């Protein structure tokens, strides 16, 4: 393997991954001898499970820890599709957990925290995702 091969990042076609997940779900739900609703529910659960597993594998291959980087407000806006006013206001008011160096400094938010915020996590849950809660507890016991 050459140095150039090591630098290549694998790409994944989201539609292909979805198609595989749907096919696996169909195979699993097809094995059930229950009603249509139960098959659809089982199929959806299987799809979700496969999708979560694929996402975990892709994240691991791409260097999991590196994918949870710190983002500036503009990067959060681009990722979420929300405007500057909403993102900056939620950061300033504490509804979106962020870190700021100095009174007028830029705010930074971890990608995992943005994902939690988008899923409706409370500020306390976001701090847990960020790792601040563990740090605060460690400082209190030191």
Find which of 7-16, 22-31, 73-82 is predicted with most confidence, using mean pLDDT. Answer: 73-82
Taking the CA atoms of 8, 64, 66 and 47 in sequence, report the sign of the dihedral they define.
positive
Domains of the chain by start residue, with CATH: 3-66 (no CATH), 68-141 (1.10.1660)
Look at residue 83 in the predicted model and tell me its pLDDT.
95
The secondary structure element, H or E, covering residue 108 is strand 107-110
Rounded to whole angstroms, the Cα distance separating 130 from 114 reads 10
Q: Each residue of 77-119: pLDDT tens digit?
A: 999 999 999 999 999 999 999 999 888 899 999 999 999 999 9
Q: Which two tokens stand for residue 46?
A: 């299987």
Tell me the pTM.
0.51
Instruction: Name the token pair of 32.
Output: 């059930």
């Amino acid at each position: 393997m050459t140095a150039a091969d090591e630098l290549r990042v694998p790409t994944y076609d989201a539609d292909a991954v979805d198609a595989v997940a749907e096919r696996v779900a169909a195979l699993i739900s097809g094995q059930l001898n229950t009603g249509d609703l139960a098959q659809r529910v089982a199929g959806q659960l299987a799809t979700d499970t496969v999708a979560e597993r694929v996402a975990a594998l892709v994240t691991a291959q791409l260097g999991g820890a590196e994918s949870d980087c710190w983002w500036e407000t503009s990067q959060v806006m681009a990722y979420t599709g929300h405007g500057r006013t909403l993102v900056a206001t939620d950061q300033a008011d504490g509804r979106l957990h962020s870190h700021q160096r100095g009174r007028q400094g830029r705010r930074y938010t971890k990608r995992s925290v943005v994902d939690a915020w988008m899923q409706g996590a409370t500020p306390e849950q976001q701090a847990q995702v960020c790792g601040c809660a563990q740090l605060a507890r460690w400082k209190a016991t030191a």
